[in-house]
Structure 1
Amino acid sequence: MSATARITAPTPSEIRARKGGTPLVCLTAYTTPIAQLVDPHCDIVLVGDSLGMVLHGLPSTLGVTMEMMSLHGAAVARGLKQAMMVVDMPFASYEESPEQAFGNAARLMRETGCAAVKLEGGVEMAETIRFLTARSIPVMAHIGLTPQAINTLGGYKVQGRGEDAARVLADAKAVAEAGAFSVVLEKVPAALGDEITAAIDIPTIGIGASAGCDGQILVVDDMLGLFTAFKPKFAKRYAELGKSADAAIAAYAAEVRARAFPAPEHVFGDAAPEPKK
């Protein structure tokens, strides 16, 4: 295991026990410095496969590999002291069979030190979730809009409107009964988010769902204004660090071109200074 165990981090069973209590605070992280920033404030830190788009410039999460998740998971683990770390299982790493899922989930846990894995899917993934949890691999489920399935969902559309609500509710019940310790509800109507939260005995973690969920998660680069390729409706900007960074880089470039940087205080002389007495 490449990460130091976090003695104070909540366990999946403790997260499950938070059902109906103080809302769970969750954010993504992909690097050690960001992990260090979010750790004091979060219950759960997710190493999301959104890193493919946010860090690697991919058009979707479908090109993310196990190697990428392992590398970034280990980096995040080095920055955490108290939050529980969950790592996404990338596309095509678990859908083939429960046995395939177990091998890849065990690899992620071994290589990153994560406390749990997250996988997408509802009714069709219940058997796999049951298989993993029976073999000591805690699972966070993810239903509603599942980004790895955008080719079959027809894009990043709201899920569970009208008659489709029954399907999403069935997915929620299936993953809860299969043993998931929590479930992410992405991009579903608020009323459906509330209905699901009341209907199942595990915490719901909303992203574009309802304030009534048992917790909330956002992509950290979205909420900090660092990722600006597009802005989902649910991604509230708590800062505009991208704009601040652009201004700082522009100022640096201007000073370099004007030979104003480096200034005398930023360079070294020929002789070392005399030691202080």
Structure 2
Amino acid sequence: MTQLPAAQQQTAQPAQGALKPSGSGRALYGGKSTRRITVRDLAAAKERGEKWPMLTAYDALTASVFDEAGIPVMLVGDSAGNCHLGYETTVPVTLDEMTMLAAAVVRGTSRALIVGDLPFGSYQEGPVQALRSATRLVKEAGVGAVKLEGGERSHRQIELLVESGIPVMAHIGLTPQSVNAMGYRVQGRGEEAAAQLLRDAKAVQDAGAFAVVLELVPAELAAEVTRVLHIPTVGIGAGAETDAQVLVWTDMLGLTGGRVPKFVKQYVNLREVMGGAVKAFAEEVVGGTFPRDEHSVH
């Protein structure tokens, strides 16, 4: 692991005005209460050392399945651009599209904390644009929090959103909206890059973010960031020591075609299951065996 400067290895203390845990003590995963999970519940889980799962969701029906399964946090990610809208990257996704998808996920759930992604171009101009965009997701879609990419460069945006009462999940490491500048590669390798990633993590915490996603970061560095921060870390391709793990649901359930990232574990091949069912339906229609009398109205 890259050796970090001694001053950066000290465990951070909660920033002034930072959220304090609710102290409820209830488990995030699999809880029976229908009350919405809040950012305070996540802070309490960090104190208890409780790990929790997060999945992406883009529609009401899928989100309802995840909610019933006990998933405590769902991200309406701009990954919908790749998974559902047919874009090659997340860059073309619009705020209108994110608002529509997030509203559907909120309607399909009753317990999970729903986090809406701010898409590329909706916050980069500065804090005022970020507040305007985040306000749309909160008011029109009903999300409980928003997510945006960037560390030190997004400090002012995060700060204004939090001051305005909008909880923010930050995202550092590989930031897909910056694919044209950085490509898809591991972030934080080498002493200088590791030090910058840690500065980014501290910057978003100091700005008031309630959690931070670490994407495609060396496991040792992600573990160090998790130890240093008092807010939860959410890993994706960042090893096992983060406080939470997130996956894109179409990757995790095997609906994505072609290659998936190395860090994805496929729990079922849903693409194969669906393809088999579709072929069975088509063959019965062509062969005249569907519909039978029990599927007909008289």
Report if TM-score (shorter chain) is over 0.5: yes
Paired position in structure 2 for 1:14? 41
Paired position in structure 1 for 2:53? 25
What is the Cα deviation at residue 42 of structure 1? 1.3
- C-alpha distance in structure 1 between counterparts of 2:293 and 2:41, whole Å: 56
CA gap of 1:71–1:159, structure 2 versus 1, over 3 A, is same
Task: Find out whether 1:198 has 2:227 as its counterpart.
Answer: yes
| Structure 2 counterpart SS, 1:117 | strand
**1:218 corresponds to which of 240, 244, 247:** 247
- C-alpha distance in structure 2 between counterparts of 1:192 and 1:42, whole Å: 26
**2:98 corresponds to which of 62, 69, 75:** 69
| Structure 1 counterpart SS, 2:221 | helix
| Structure 1 counterpart SS, 2:214 | strand
CA contact (8 A) 2:126 2:156 kept: no
Paired position in structure 1 for 2:178? 149
- For residues 85-164 of structure 1, what are the structure 2 equivalents within 5 Å? 85-153=114-182, 155-163=183-191, 164=193
- What CA deviation, in whole Å up to 9, does each residue of 1:177-216 have, x standing for no partner? 1100000000100001001001111000000002110111
- C-alpha distance in structure 2 between counterparts of 1:257 and 1:10, whole Å: 49
Aligned residues: 263
Paired position in structure 2 for 1:166? 195
Q: Give the RMSD, CA atoms, in angstroms.
A: 1.3
What is the Cα deviation at residue 16 of structure 1? 2.2
- C-alpha distance in structure 1 between counterparts of 2:291 and 2:184, whole Å: 47
Instruction: Report runs of 4+ in structure 1 exceeding 6 Å deviation.
Output: none
- C-alpha distance in structure 2 between counterparts of 1:209 and 1:189, whole Å: 6
**1:184 corresponds to which of 210, 213, 220:** 213
Q: Name the % identity.
A: 48
Pick which of 201-210 and 224-233 moved more. Answer: 224-233
AA aligned to 1:78 is: R
- C-alpha distance in structure 2 between counterparts of 1:17 and 1:157, whole Å: 33
What is the Cα deviation at residue 230 of structure 1? 2.8
Pick which of 230-239 and 116-125 moved more. Answer: 230-239
Gaps of at least 5 residues in structure 1 are: 1-5, 270-277
AA aligned to 1:181 is: F
Paired position in structure 2 for 1:81? 110
- C-alpha distance in structure 2 between counterparts of 1:73 and 1:53, whole Å: 16
Pick which of 35-44 and 215-224 moved more. Answer: 35-44
AA aligned to 1:127 is: R
Pick which of 233-242 and 256-265 moved more. Answer: 256-265
- C-alpha distance in structure 2 between counterparts of 1:116 and 1:268, whole Å: 47
| Structure 1 counterpart SS, 2:297 | coil
Paired position in structure 1 for 2:12? none
- C-alpha distance in structure 1 between counterparts of 2:218 and 2:100, whole Å: 35
- C-alpha distance in structure 2 between counterparts of 1:116 and 1:44, whole Å: 10
| Structure 1 counterpart SS, 2:62 | helix
- What CA deviation, in whole Å up to 9, does each residue of 1:227-257 have, x standing for no partner? 1243111111011111000011111111111
Task: Find out whether 1:37 has 2:65 as its counterpart.
Answer: yes
Pick which of 11-20 and 76-85 moved more. Answer: 11-20
